Structure 1
Amino acid sequence: MSIALHAILRPFGVNPVSCYLGRHARFCFRASWTEAVNWEKKQGNSKRTRKTKAAADVMGLEVLCDDGFGSVTMKDYLEAVRTMPIDDGGPPRWFCPVECGRPVVNSAPLLLFLPGTDGVGMELILHHKSLGMVFEVRCLHIPVNDRTSFGELLQIVDECIKYEHALSPNRPVFVVGDSLGGCLAISVAAHNPEIDLVLIVVNPGTSFAETLVQAILPLLDLMPSNLSVIHPHLLRYFIGEPLKMSMASIQNDLSLQESLQKFLDGFNSMQTLTYGTGDIIRMDNIVWKLKLLKSGAAYANSRLHAVQAEVLLLASGNENLSPTGEADRLLKTLNNCKARYFRNRGHTLLMEHDFNLLTVIKGVNMYRRGRKRDAVTDFLPPTLSEFKKTFGEDFKQFNQLLSPVMLSTLETGKIVRGLAGVPDKGPVLFVGYHQLMAMELSTLLEGLFREKKPVRALAHEVFFKGNFGTLREELSLFDALCMYGAVPVNPTNMYKLFQRNEFVLLYPGGVREALHRKGESYQCFWPNKPEFVRMAARFGVTIVPFGCVGEDDFFEVVVDYNDQKNIPCLRDWITSFNEDLPTLRDTVIGENGNQDVHLPVLLPKVPGRLYFLFGKPIVTKGMDNLLSDSKQANDLYLHTKLEVENLISYLKRKREEDPYRSITPRILYQAIWGASAQVPTFEP
């Protein structure tokens, strides 16, 4: 390493060493940070803190930006492994992946990656670009022939975390641990309960003692040390499965012959790269890493009770080293733990071609820059790859089935198709009617985000707390809503959003509208008090009322809340479920106050069509009189409600003129013009 680079890094407490981990690493750091800490103390700067910016200036990530996810494949990983030095005689060390670049988010937290049993430290290669936008990423590299014990590895990570905490006491440190790295992450968290750590453990090897590999370890120890492992059961724990990697490269739109040829080419390429990894799959190295994993599992299990850090557990269903039962055990044992189960995934979860780690972190609301997460300022807008995954795959059939129509009203009062009548600049407050089960949300969010109007939904606390978390085994609508900016509905969050000139979505009817009773379709259940008008006037917010029609025509409520309250077992379940949920409208009397969350029994109908109409914007800028005059504030509130009801009535009347309201003509139209063609509708 050049003297110039050494001189640049040295004042910041970094001890560069003269080794280079291939083309994927910028530079690397010594395993021990003690010398760096001592050097800082001599300079009188042992507690240097990084500068932070105001909350309004921390966002640097653009909406639907290209995060690069999907541009790197398993082939790139295997090539990166081959270019790593086999053994340069140095100790384990940290390196910064070149692909990560510099974070675009100010005050980005640090992310330390602890590798699995291969020890290379490149398992995050599919995520380097996306994670590098919002984290300072460093990965631990353990040389192939290195024989550092688990205790010594723990000391290396421990010193690094303590050093970083000394530099920035208010900045959290994210620790991502895969398999062996998961045991290491749990252990280091138990050692540092006073440091703000966020653990993300992926298939941790804490159940190693119960696996088949543990039973045959003595036999593996008798094998020739220079023998290369080719058994897929062992190979998959170190460098993945070549067969599955080859299948991942096949595109859905290819013919059968093209798919077969693509698979054969990919499989041959993967096999060549896999067996070219050389020393990583040599028997003596594998036996050592398995012994290391055995030691780490025993140590981590003995320290589970001492972990105070926030933990996210990611478990694969096809994972033998960490079966679902083990994930359940860890979820119950760790104090502050969330879990997501991916039942159709394998051991190398981080290297699955469609698994995006950043998306998972955002979906479970764990990304933060300070000691406590701020739902408003810590939000990361969805990226282009996330948008394509959500609405191009997950909700694609749903939207094609409903063929939604979006209309808006210009300042002249003319109704046009599209969102030309919706303001381009905030602060804007969308106020509307909640459809049955709030199932219109995905379509509404897609339409607004597609037009680069990133709306932040004010949602019920059930999306963030409560017993619904036990049902979220994989990424679900709950996680998707959080990923697209939903925040708990309360005055503080609304104030912050308006202060930042955001687009905000509010349903005054809330749960009462979304879970309405039989015969109550298209009825607004708004509280009597003008809850949002004064705050909107305070910031000069433009209020956009909107109506939505269609979803009540897809389902019929057959067992509603009133029916369930008369059934003892269901009544007890509703009471028990809602005990953990905070109350939102204690001062509102009657049915528009706090409503119990429940699950009505629905009977599906033949799908109709979904219609949205955004009304003429109501500008509150300059209406300072609303802040002190309660009568005028209430009049504007009632006017907004009346506008929503009028928009609903308009859509109910005009949809009768839509020749494509029925699903049959829509299917025929798309069969002729293509599934992506915009189906016509009535003339506004």
Structure 2
Amino acid sequence: MVGSRLLPVTNSARAQMASATTFSAPANAPRRRSPPPPPHLPRFHAFSRNLRPAPAAVTSKMEPAPAITDRQGTAGGPPEVAGAVPKLLDESEIEPRGVRDYIDWSRDLVRPDGGPPRWFSPLECGSREKGSPLLLFLPGIDGVGLGLIRHHQRLGKVFDIWCLHIPVMDRTPFEGLVDFVERTVKSEKSCSPNKPIYLVGESIGACIALAVAARNPNIDLILILANPATSFCKSQLHSLSVFLDVVPEPLHINIPYFLNFITGNHMRMSSTYAKSVLSLQKAAWGLSESLADIPPCLSFLVNILPKESLLWKLKMLRSASFYVNSRLHAVKAQALILASGRDQLFPSREEAERLCSALPNCRIRHFKDGGHNIFLEGGIDLLTTIRGAGYFRRSSQLDYVSDYLLLTPDEFQKATEQYRWIDLAMSPVMLSTLEDGRVVKGLAGIPLEGPAVLIGYHMLMGLELGPLFTRLFLERKIHLRGIAHPFMFDRASELLMPDSSSFDSHRLLGAVPASAANFYKLLSRKSFVLLYPGGAREALHKKGEHYKLFWPEEPEFVRMASRFEATIIPFGVVGEDDISEMLLDYDDLVNLPFYDILDKRINQDAVRLRTESTGEVRNQALYLPILLPKIPGRLYFLFGRPIEMRGRREELKDKYKAQQLYMHVKSEVKNCITYLKEKREKDPYRNILPRLLYQLANGYTAEVPTFEL
């Protein structure tokens, strides 16, 4: 591709934009994207006006982007059936970008043109889904607007992306930039009142986003803030800016802190860096590439940050910090702060904690190895981060079912990495039951067509979840959607966790908060739903209660399953007693000094389920048991014979018959557990030593045998 340039917005240029760029010229036309242009056409479509005109009766000639279609051919949201292929781009489909690409793409943008700040949209963002929300990117101190270059292709699948470009010699003050963005936000909100607007800002761009949110508390905004410059007065830049006057140009760029504006972590900014673990060959190539990028970075920094502009922007940073900090109390919008652990410009980790305590609807995601320009570094996927935090939605309210996006292969691998040790240490055994009642190895007895509800025993700490999700997905192409405790989705819960992203993988895998409405929506989409009637009481049981079912008396799931003619698949799992021994349970912990303070924060302030139920199931106290690890044994799964609901809707309206079926399912789960407990005694590979010897002889990828069926 040739160098990018901004098109002058003349009548003749508008016609060229409509045929060659991402948007049609009319301001109110449906924002649909055309196919990527030939190499000789520009990379961007520019908006040089400060505010889009009022809507007019103009019709776009562009074809709308095709809706996603699932295996049954139903148009609409993401597919929710077994065997569905993820529609988002994965790493193999994304052209790698690095600092060199950022510099090459930026050269034409930073040429002095005398123009004001403006919006542009990268062509490579591609064709997005219908109803995609608007994402406004607010750049850092460089002002170019290409800080998301690594993320354009992925974000462009689900967002309508506009990037703010601030010319090098532009002297619009901070409040002027806030006014500019605010007018755009209000204009776009009037066109799409039911959709949120995303403001993604880094450094001073994050300050602009916070200022706009503070001035517009009634507009539905979602803020993604990367290393906000609200801590400018605590940074090294604040003191170094005093001495900048005596440093001759262009030597001012060689000051380490100023050099970090663009260069940051050289290795993580190379185009080859995509993951935290690289092969030796890729690491060597990335190192050589990053070293080769330093001279172009220096010359480019002189172009985008001449001394006069740098002095102006440092003053603007100071005013932005004061302006925003005095108005934090007015920010009501959702905010997600991305904090780098190695930010050499600002104390971002500490500032993120301060902002989170000041903002009522804020969450944090830490990146311990990240530098200041985190969006230009590899190892972070912004779209995955937004989705994992539960911040992706298309309307005014988050819908965990309709707003869910299927995993890419890379996301699936990362989300299930935490469970890999279970596969390695315990070689799970998967058994299923065919329609004729025969138990077979593998998952052949599980139907491929939804809707279906998997009902089973919830092992201590949910240790069975990893193998359950991964094996069903890999062997049967079944994407399982779990009904989870609301604790995993609550902001207050994150503040109690040592890692604020502890539950992100569950959200990425498709877990939804427990509610009848979510259960209904999943079944209506023919999903495979994982439901534990015992819930947290079963997963956090006490001493001597392993393999004991704590089910409510009411047949909660039977009528809903019959309404959608969903297949019920009972299953049992054993092996927790081969993994660990419980030292302290809830009854022991509450007797410890000061534990009552933590217990109150967890259980009295958390969302409570089944408060009107009777029996033990209503005592779902959340706690972290103290366990003593054992030499790992083995996990065993048995999926019982599927129970068809087809044609039984009217029959199961009768409470007695619904209760009978409910008890039958419970009995089947118990039978599965009893079968596995008896059979595992005959497994010659139940202990880890025989399994290791088998794998040494046959290779670590070989499946370890088990008992005879």
- Report the equivalent of 1:395: 419
Secondary structure in structure 2 of the residue aligned to 1:72: coil
- Report the equivalent of 1:279: 303
Quote the offset at 1:420 in angstroms.
2.2
Quote the offset at 1:220 in angstroms.
1.2
Long gaps (5+) in structure 2:
1-6, 8-12, 32-38
Quote the offset at 1:134 in angstroms.
1.2
Correspondent of 1:101 among 126, 138, 142: 126
AA aligned opposite 1:517: K
Give the distance between the partners of 2:152 and 2:58, measured in 1 at CA.
Answer: 35
The answer to whether residue 483 in structure 2 is matched with residue 458 in structure 1 is yes
1:402-452 deviations in whole A, cap 9, x for unaligned?
222222222232333332221212111000100111122122122223232
- Report the equivalent of 2:432: 408
Give the distance between the partners of 2:496 and 2:533, measured in 1 at CA.
Answer: 27
Tell me if the contact between 1:250 and 1:262 (Cα under 8 Å) persists in the aligned partners.
no
Correspondent of 2:48 among 22, 30, 33: 30
The answer to whether residue 172 in structure 2 is matched with residue 148 in structure 1 is yes
1:499-547 deviations in whole A, cap 9, x for unaligned?
1211110001111111111111111111121111111111101001111
Structure-2 change in CA distance of 1:100 and 1:417 (3 Å): farther
Q: Which moved more, 1:640-649 or 1:321-330?
A: 321-330
Structure-2 change in CA distance of 1:429 and 1:308 (3 Å): same
- Report the equivalent of 1:302: 326
The answer to whether residue 89 in structure 2 is matched with residue 67 in structure 1 is yes
Tell me if the contact between 2:570 and 2:640 (Cα under 8 Å) persists in the aligned partners.
yes
Structure-2 change in CA distance of 1:304 and 1:477 (3 Å): closer
Q: Number of aligned residue pairs: give it.
A: 669
Give the distance between the partners of 1:287 and 1:359, measured in 2 at CA.
Answer: 36
Give the distance between the partners of 1:564 and 1:577, measured in 2 at CA.
Answer: 13
Tell me if the contact between 2:481 and 2:510 (Cα under 8 Å) persists in the aligned partners.
yes
The answer to whether residue 232 in structure 2 is matched with residue 215 in structure 1 is no
Tell me if the contact between 1:180 and 1:205 (Cα under 8 Å) persists in the aligned partners.
yes
- Report the equivalent of 1:491: 516
- Report the equivalent of 2:101: 76
Secondary structure in structure 2 of the residue aligned to 1:609: coil
Quote the offset at 1:157 in angstroms.
0.8
Aligned residue runs from structure 1 range 422-433, under 5 A: 422-433=446-457
Quote the offset at 1:57 in angstroms.
5.3
- Report the equivalent of 2:290: 267
Give the distance between the partners of 1:194 and 1:25, measured in 2 at CA.
Answer: 35
Quote the offset at 1:340 in angstroms.
2.1
AA aligned opposite 1:142: I
Tell me if the contact between 1:363 and 1:475 (Cα under 8 Å) persists in the aligned partners.
no
- Report the equivalent of 2:262: 238
Tell me if the contact between 1:24 and 1:80 (Cα under 8 Å) persists in the aligned partners.
no
Structure-2 change in CA distance of 1:23 and 1:563 (3 Å): farther
Give the distance between the partners of 2:498 and 2:159, measured in 1 at CA.
Answer: 26
Tell me if the contact between 2:338 and 2:367 (Cα under 8 Å) persists in the aligned partners.
yes
Tell me if the contact between 2:144 and 2:167 (Cα under 8 Å) persists in the aligned partners.
yes
Give the distance between the partners of 2:708 and 2:359, measured in 1 at CA.
Answer: 59
Structure-2 change in CA distance of 1:582 and 1:145 (3 Å): same
AA aligned opposite 2:111: I
Task: Give % identity.
Answer: 43
Secondary structure in structure 1 of the residue aligned to 2:616: coil
Q: Which moved more, 1:424-433 or 1:142-151?
A: 142-151
Structure-2 change in CA distance of 1:477 and 1:530 (3 Å): same
Tell me if the contact between 1:31 and 1:156 (Cα under 8 Å) persists in the aligned partners.
no
The answer to whether residue 640 in structure 2 is matched with residue 615 in structure 1 is yes
Quote the offset at 1:263 in angstroms.
5.1
Structure-2 change in CA distance of 1:27 and 1:676 (3 Å): farther
Quote the offset at 1:64 in angstroms.
3.6
Structure-2 change in CA distance of 1:3 and 1:584 (3 Å): closer
The answer to whether residue 672 in structure 2 is matched with residue 647 in structure 1 is yes
- Report the equivalent of 1:181: 205
AA aligned opposite 1:373: L
Structure-2 change in CA distance of 1:397 and 1:248 (3 Å): farther
- Report the equivalent of 1:557: 582
Give the distance between the partners of 1:449 and 1:260, measured in 2 at CA.
Answer: 32
Q: Which moved more, 1:124-133 or 1:312-321?
A: 312-321
Tell me if the contact between 2:265 and 2:371 (Cα under 8 Å) persists in the aligned partners.
no
Secondary structure in structure 1 of the residue aligned to 2:131: coil
Secondary structure in structure 1 of the residue aligned to 2:189: helix
Correspondent of 2:404 among 362, 368, 379: 379
Secondary structure in structure 2 of the residue aligned to 1:174: strand
Structure-2 change in CA distance of 1:312 and 1:352 (3 Å): same
- Report the equivalent of 1:501: 526
Correspondent of 1:4 among 15, 35, 39: 15
Q: Which moved more, 1:479-488 or 1:225-234?
A: 225-234
Quote the offset at 1:165 in angstroms.
0.4
Quote the offset at 1:117 in angstroms.
1.2
The answer to whether residue 364 in structure 2 is matched with residue 339 in structure 1 is yes
Structure-2 change in CA distance of 1:130 and 1:475 (3 Å): farther
Tell me if the contact between 2:680 and 2:707 (Cα under 8 Å) persists in the aligned partners.
yes
Tell me if the contact between 1:22 and 1:85 (Cα under 8 Å) persists in the aligned partners.
no
What TM-score do the two structures reach when normalised by structure 1? 0.90
Aligned residue runs from structure 1 range 89-168, under 5 A: 89-103=114-128, 105-168=129-192
Secondary structure in structure 1 of the residue aligned to 2:161: strand
Secondary structure in structure 2 of the residue aligned to 1:562: helix
Correspondent of 1:328 among 353, 363, 386: 353
AA aligned opposite 2:365: R
Quote the offset at 1:183 in angstroms.
0.3
Q: Which moved more, 1:198-207 or 1:285-294?
A: 285-294
Structure-2 change in CA distance of 1:620 and 1:135 (3 Å): same
Secondary structure in structure 2 of the residue aligned to 1:411: coil
Quote the offset at 1:672 in angstroms.
4.8
Tell me if the contact between 1:584 and 1:594 (Cα under 8 Å) persists in the aligned partners.
no
AA aligned opposite 2:180: I
Secondary structure in structure 1 of the residue aligned to 2:467: helix
Quote the offset at 1:274 in angstroms.
2.1
Give the distance between the partners of 1:202 and 1:237, measured in 2 at CA.
Answer: 14
AA aligned opposite 2:582: V
Quote the offset at 1:249 in angstroms.
7.1
Give the distance between the partners of 2:607 and 2:283, measured in 1 at CA.
Answer: 55
Quote the offset at 1:388 in angstroms.
2.1
Q: Which moved more, 1:450-459 or 1:465-474?
A: 465-474
- Report the equivalent of 2:565: 540
1:243-272 deviations in whole A, cap 9, x for unaligned?
5435947985745xx577435522333224
Correspondent of 1:359 among 384, 409, 414: 384
Quote the offset at 1:394 in angstroms.
4.0
Give the distance between the partners of 2:18 and 2:260, measured in 1 at CA.
Answer: 42
AA aligned opposite 2:579: F
Long gaps (5+) in structure 1:
none
Structure-2 change in CA distance of 1:298 and 1:576 (3 Å): closer
Q: Which moved more, 1:21-30 or 1:353-362?
A: 21-30
Quote the offset at 1:108 in angstroms.
1.1
The answer to whether residue 542 in structure 2 is matched with residue 527 in structure 1 is no
Aligned residue runs from structure 1 range 436-447, under 5 A: 436-447=460-471
Quote the offset at 1:565 in angstroms.
3.5
- Report the equivalent of 2:35: none
Tell me if the contact between 1:228 and 1:281 (Cα under 8 Å) persists in the aligned partners.
no
Structure-2 change in CA distance of 1:44 and 1:249 (3 Å): closer
Structure-2 change in CA distance of 1:143 and 1:472 (3 Å): farther
AA aligned opposite 1:67: L
Tell me if the contact between 1:145 and 1:285 (Cα under 8 Å) persists in the aligned partners.
yes
The answer to whether residue 660 in structure 2 is matched with residue 635 in structure 1 is yes
Secondary structure in structure 2 of the residue aligned to 1:654: helix
Give the distance between the partners of 1:431 and 1:683, measured in 2 at CA.
Answer: 26
Give the distance between the partners of 2:699 and 2:166, measured in 1 at CA.
Answer: 52
